[in-house]
Chain A
């Protein structure tokens, strides 16, 4: 704070207007990039199969999923909330897609939109309860997580649904050697980046997450913003479920069970602010890559898979601790 105060008044220089908002925190993205490259190099050294085109295809597809699921979480984190029902909405969407195919014999042009509409509706339910009744998003989405998980088990009985063979096109094929899913998710990620950097809606989301009271007193319809964030979150989770089904060639009800921790891990590693108001598109991309590479590396070094969650938890904690240390260092620099 004192820097501006202590500067001698007469020599006041004209402000430098060339720099704009530092939404993409340069330092962090660079650190993540280095981390990704190091991980990539290390795995390439110990593994013979890693650099093969097929492995790359699989890895890219996994990265795409982790990004998509993280985005579903991040849009809620950005407005100062959270969505614990990300995976449960995915599970339920998978069951609905399966029912459309197997029981109703619908074609994909009907089944997919119905599934996506479910995602929108489930997000809208989250958003409505949170904004209308002023209930904490943690409680609302936690309860609905269990509601959906129960529904999907009850309806499906646990066994997968059969889906048409040609539905696997997007999930299993590539364009110029790159997974369609990866291409699609990259486009979604870029669109999200555009939204947060350039559109009024995106920047209103950031403002709402940054200081909801101030945003409301600036005429921003903060309730509508939070509502829409949850709708987007539900839609992305349902989309991830559709793509997942396309990838594995069936509708497995346990889809989504592992998404929740991943969605937080990638968002947090990628620098999404837990108190809202901050998101980094580059960070989420690199966070997704690191997340997948670490999982792959653990398999490669034949680590006991039963311990996988411990690594993940430690990784999330490490990302938060590093951020906090940087904040503390930054604060003490200001004081000196």
Chain B
């Protein structure tokens, strides 16, 4: 069993050398962590660092490939979420999970309705009484019969926590619980956490918000690329050091190469593009041969802006010029066929690929129109295979045949296909959203090289949206910083030899911390 058990206070949760792999990615790599009762322990890291996977391993949603977990001195190996819940470990997900048309009380007591029932009938008075106790505890000042649908996100978040308490959870995992809350609501939540600490509840807290973590966490652990980088008490961890741990210093931070931007050719010019709750007064210019990085946190308005630009969402106001001419983009086909703007989506599985379709179809569907026989209107199989075959070789996609289903390829190869599709369509402007999420290191390098070649050699203009700072700095010739649906700053001259990675990183950090 776990060697250091004796030293752990009762009620502690310990992970020892836990690893978990998915095809092509080592999501959690030899991670050891200790969580103590009455403490708030924050898990931090960039997207894809492995935090969520750790949470899912603890709560039995996934099972580790190797390593051990213990809870309260006993071995912990939940095979399902139900099992972890039975041991008193519960998770509050980032997406709010409530039954909207049921009452607050029912939502809190959802899995315990049988306890307040007699002969199969729910005893409503008892249900309301018991639920009220938990509602009081989390500070929900409402009649227990209130229907959940009409409540705010903050209330729903509290209901989820009350549900965890009702389940007698002594370990509660919180996945970005403040992401849909206002500052005031978040404050109330933090007060609740103080109360829970006093009752010796273990809180494990995943968040991207640095301010917030310093405010509430006792201990901070940082993960990167599936590995644990370090665990410190928040009092002794300097903010700069935390950022350094999260972003890392390794090969990736070297510039991929000097860029060659043609400043005189403005391919895309955006003026004060605005859409309510999506993006605010976005203005910038994009040049031929340029990779323009969009850096910011999830929800900062980068993807939202891209979707407005390509016509998937309609702008409330603002102007777009393509090659100096005013452009009217009302739908995605306008962006693609009239203005040659392509958008590689961030969720390739949900919004990018046709998983149950062949590599061939996934690559060629944008250019079918150009492959038709003039009389029969039939898409030429031969032309289709030629085009797809060339792209597969050019991007070195590893597939046995063009007929293979895309679902059976690795993440990196899938990503190459979702980019390759837009290359076949001969787009001049490419927006590439989070190109290397869920992709292994080797494929990541290839995709970086590909993006760089597109700008440098093929003279495309590229907007690179990424939440990974190292990636943005490595590839971009210029970076726009997004926060709160607007551009809050610009970092230029990334090619400058004098400017080290560290300087650029600090500059971005200063811009971001100025607004928080």
Q: Give the B-binding residues of A (Cβ under 8 A).
A: 1-5, 7, 12, 15-22, 194, 198-200, 203-204, 206-207, 210-211, 213-221, 277-278, 334
Contact = CB atoms under 8 A, between A and B. Distances in A.
A7 B352 CA distance: 26
B168 interface: no
Given A200-B368, A207-B361, A217 B343 contact: yes
28 contacts: A1-B23, A2-B23, A3-B408, A4-B398, A4-B408, A4-B413, A7-B398, A15-B402, A16-B400, A18-B401, A19-B402, A20-B402, A22-B403, A199-B377, A200-B368, A203-B361, A203-B368, A211-B350, A211-B351, A214-B351, A214-B352, A214-B354, A218-B332, A218-B366, A219-B366, A221-B331, A277-B356, A334-B408
Interface stretch (B11-19, B49-57, B233-241, B333-341): B333-341
Interface in B13-29: 23-24
Interface in B311-334: 312, 331-333
A226 to B, nearest CB: 15
B308 to A, nearest CB: 13
Nearest to B410: A5
B91 interface: no
Contacts of B454: none
B368 A219 contact: no
B312 A217 contact: yes
A278 B356 CA distance: 9
Contacts of B180: none
B354 A207 contact: yes
B353 interface: yes
Interface in B102-156: none
Contact of A21 (B332, B352, B361, B410): B361
Contacts of A4: 398-400, 408-410, 413
A220 B400 CA distance: 28
Nearest to B358: A21
Contacts of B368: 200, 203-204
Interface residues of B, number: 49
B336 A219 contact: yes
A219 B408 CA distance: 25
Contact of A203 (B332, B345, B379, B385): B379
Given A217-B312, A221-B333, A278-B356, A207 B402 contact: no
Contact of B378 (A2, A22, A199): A199
A217 B351 contact: yes
A17 B400 CA distance: 9
B421 interface: yes
Nearest to A278: B356
What 3 A-B pairs have minimum CB-CB distances, sorted nearest first?
A: A219-B333, A198-B378, A1-B23
Contacts of A219: 331-333, 335-337, 366
A247 B351 CA distance: 47
Given A15-B401, A198-B376, A215-B354, 19 more contacts: A4-B409, A4-B410, A15-B400, A18-B401, A20-B358, A20-B360, A21-B358, A198-B377, A203-B379, A204-B368, A207-B361, A210-B355, A210-B356, A213-B351, A217-B312, A217-B345, A217-B352, A219-B337, A277-B356
Contacts of B500: none
For A4, A12, A199, A203, which residue has the most chain B Cβ atoms within 10 angstroms? A4
Given A15-B400, A20-B360, A217-B332, A200 B409 contact: no
For A200, A203, A206, which residue has the most chain B Cβ atoms within 10 angstroms? A200
B372 interface: yes
Contacts of A278: 356
B378 A1 contact: no
Nearest to B403: A19
Contacts of A16: 400-401
A22 B408 CA distance: 14
Contacts of B312: 216-217
B271 interface: no
A210 B358 CA distance: 11
Contacts of A217: 310, 312, 332, 343, 345, 351-352
B73 interface: no
A16 B381 CA distance: 15
A215 B336 CA distance: 13
A214 B393 CA distance: 24
B434 to A, nearest CB: 14
A214 B353 contact: yes
A22 B352 CA distance: 21
Interface in B198-254: none
Given A19-B403, A200-B368, A210 B408 contact: no
For A18, A216, A217, which residue has the most chain B Cβ atoms within 10 angstroms? A217
